Structure 1
Amino acid sequence: LADPALSRELCQACLDVSNQGELPAIPVTEFPYRDYAKALRLMTSGQHQGKLVLKAPSCGDDPAIMVADVRPLLDPEATYLVTGGLGGFGLRLLPYLAFAGARHITLLDRDPDRQRTANWIRESSALVYTDLDVEFDIVAGDVAVEEDVRRCIAQLKRPLKGVFHLAGILDDRFFDDISPESMSRVFAPKADGALHLHRAASGLDLDHFVLFSSTASTIGNPGQVNYSAASAFLDGLAVVRHRQGLPCLAFNMAAVADAGMASRSLHVLRMMRATGMPPVSSDSAIANLDFAMRSMADRDHLVTAMFTRPAWTVELPDYMRTGRMLNNQDAFEAGTGSEWTIESVLAQLAAKVAELCGHDEGGVEEPLSSFGLTSISVAELGAFIQTQFNYQMSALELMTTASCMSIARGIIHGGQDELHDQAEAEEDGALVTPLVVTGELQRAPSAFASAIEDHFPRQGSNAQVTVPCPG
């Protein structure tokens, strides 16, 4: 501004040099879509020049980027019926249904004292449903009584679009101890209840009919003969409904560590862990359920479980050991479950940290904060730890006190080290990514719905969100 003539002369000189091609263009480094993580790491390192560009594939050779389906799954104008929804796992399922789009949820409750109200649900679920404008209608009745089920469905004010059958009880017995009374006691809410729902919903245009079965019906559990049989009935009903062109999913869950009937039975949890199939977290189970409901309309059942031994070393039926068991091959190659060692975990962690920071200097006891990791690198490391080892750490821990050694100890000891001093870690700890087993599925799903951790409240200090995603 002090010398306009000089400014004009400088601008003209710059334009002349540019027009004559004497100034090179800004460098552009191209990355295919599949290398987006590498591009992000280079950008955050500050070592690149010019622009980094993600180049779209020209001939379809590059694999498509998997984008999680986070669209509302349930119809906000419809009603969804839940049985057994006031139990431990049911109270974990209700927030998921709300965030999946449900706004009108009817629960069938056989509580004679009518003490469990909508306010009780909100308080017990630790979720502010009022922010989502969710309405609960608790109907007195027993799913084991067909008349109660028909009455409940008949009085619905909105069209019924989904049924979630969780009702069930345990009366664990070995085969020699089985009696007609024990069979009837377990079959009534689970098997009879499912049949009553199937009959009462006949003719209705349902989108979802989910039967919460058990891995006991597919893998077997010597101490749960009656429960295994009742769960097998649910699996069979799912097949029948599919043959009739009706929606149905039998969701065969392993024991859930932090909610539900098995969580109250320490001997069941220990027995499951001893057989190589430790309990899963409720968040992991719900993440698998979300995947199944979104993408398995043509399947009649899905089994979700974790194994701490390769499939071929576990006592499983032949059909589950002949190529239909899906697993995290990277984890199995490194060693799984009781075969995990500090050394094998450290090797994977050190390799990942070296990849993220660009060098392999530094000891395993040194805090990761001294390695120069960026915020994006920390997020990627956290995702790697969660998907590879089913172990969750916050970004704050990774950026402050955590070292490769402390993380490895936490993974090996199921979260009982100084980073996660949790009173109930034995029930939560899991050393491998949850497996997904289906009758005919030939590959593991690419992703489950993202941001599950934002959908569920933390249920106490021992809660962890695990969204399994095969490596």
Structure 2
Amino acid sequence: DWAALFAESGARKVPLPTYPFQHQHYWLEPARTPTRAETADSSLWAAIEDGDAQSLARDLEVDAAALGTVLPALASWRRRSREDSLADAWRYRVGWTRVAAAEPRLSGRWLVLVPAVRAGSARVRAVLDGLAARGAEVVAVEVAETSREALGDQVKSADGCAGVVSLLSWDDRADTEYGTVSVGTAATLAAAQALRDHGVTAPLWCVTSGGVAVAGEAADPAQSAVWGFGAVLGLDHPDTFGGLIDLPTQGDDEEVPDGLFAALCSPEGEDQLAVRADGLFARRMLRDRDGSGSAWKPRGTVLVTGGTGGLGSHVARWLAANGADHVVLLSRQGGDAPGAAELVADLADVRVTVAACDVTDRDAVAAVLAEAERTHPLTAVVHTAGAGLPPAPVTEVTAEEFAAVTGAKVRGALVLDELVGDRELDAFVLFSSGAGVWGSGGQAPYGAGNAFLDGLAQRRRARGLAATSVAWGGWGGGVGMIDADGGDQWRRIGILPMDPAPALRAMARAVAGGPPNVIVADIDWARFVPGYTMARERPLLRQLPEVAEILAADAPGGGASRREVLLDSLAELTGPEREAFLTDLVRREAAAVLGHADGDAVEPERAFKDTGFDSLTAVELRNRINAATGLQLSPTVVFDYPKPTTLARKLRTELLPTANETANGTVDGLANGAATDADGREREIRRVLASVPLRRFHELGVLDALVRLADSTAGGPGGLSGLSEPSTAAEAENTAIADLDADELVSRAMRGTTFGND
């Protein structure tokens, strides 16, 4: 256990090669030499933490016996202070900020997917009428089935639409086939898949009703699940995801949708919005400053589901160490679970009950609770049970897989909520995940299940009952996804492993006085933000100061688009230089995806699949290149162009005209490589001039000179606004711009400018 070995030692982490075949050199940076004061301070606290009374007595020049009581207290305080510091740094919450709602003006055809069971409702009618009143041509489709195939036939009419609005989540009936998945959630999944199947590029807006709590109101967990699904959908398919819009559970059918139409206009790129009677609100991730003064002190009987698993065992040990009298551990295997015997031995100071029980079996859980409360009353529940599947894009997920992932997590939480009823508990803790907040690529069922728990916590809290859902980031200590096979990938994108002790301390502080939904995650924002925002804006993070700084620093060209900056760079290069430039770009982005320090680690002629790319990292590379170039490449582009060099040629073709394409009447000689003769050189320079945005000529101070040159060539003032036939005198005096050679064209353009006369 390296973490335990180096704990409190001052050791620091340094990046080392992941695999020996990379053949890269690494040097350790010399550690900063501590000052004399720092050394003395470190020595003092080292003696306290080690319980070394003799050394401490000698340094303080006091009797060692006098330290017998204070030394353990100081050591405990030091440990808690460090844990509290980390706990506060890792804790976030979801908040809502009011945004301006401009007068909505819609155009084009809009497809509206309506659940058949709600087709005749006043609210649906208000939505359809409201869209039409604001300029949209409305195509309403009643959806009675939740199969992908059936929906496929119905969404064909979406081709060429300006947008798609899904009201399918409003069918809140329980799906009789899949149990924990509502009909509305299953239909929303099928609709997203069917739209992709038919190549519909119009943005999909998922509209829920009571899916989120803006001001402490009760949420509908089934509607909340669609928000978790949507967060992942926006990562898997950022090009066709419009966003999520929540309407109140109840409201005036004519007034409430007004905000809906404003939301559909997506003010400032907002994609997670809530419409309420007092305005339009956008979702934000914020620092959680609540509950920082005290922490939950467990007592009596505490029930832990998934109690013998990795997360559950850490929770059990923490409960025993912090005051619980009786810990009840539920798991499918009970005492036969791997590590269960060792766990019970570690909990020797408290009473422990290990029960083999399926948390989704209401009768079995009720029996365990009745038996457990014979000695101590139930005071708290911690629900850690859950399941996962290997990542898969939304288009490849089935409703059966949705049900499998959400089963123990969702159904188990509902069973516990029902059984504890309205009793006054100290804590009702649901282990959720950041996948339900910011999303996690390829984890749509997992995101939906965790968002369901967040909604359940909001509903309980609105009823005045104890409830806290904790959306965890990555756990260290050998548990959770981050320490599984994909651990390196999580670290690479900025989700870092948390030591269990301060992580659970953060949970305890949140339970004591925090909001119903809290996020506990150690995030390296410098790594996380570029990847998370590469394909589209993510307003969710806008109000975090550290994120705002990163976004401001990352804005290229003082606000110019990345594509403009890239084209400006390419305009200064010859054909072969362009290809080398784009190849280097591909290699840098590929290296970033694979976690290498720079592009030199990626060989230009080596196939991506031989370098370590799979389907998910291929999409990540596509997203990074799209963000860097402003292009919209297909998800399969890395497989269609399987080497850095071939992909770079694809980029050149997309960014620059082909060999036969014309630009302002000139033939492009760039796509065939650098021209080798004088005519080729002139064509190249003309192409360069034609490709430079007008704003660049203006910024460089040469635009007026070019305009005067063109006007004089065209016959005097007004030549650019309406070219007239040049006069004979003008023809004799001026050389037609088309007849100027490249050097003369550039020279004449530069004359009269500051740098042109240098």
**TM-score normalized by structure 1?**
0.50
| Larger Rg over CA atoms | 2
**TM-score normalized by structure 2?**
0.32
- Higher relative contact order, structure no. (Cα contacts within 8 Å, ≥ 6 residues apart): 1
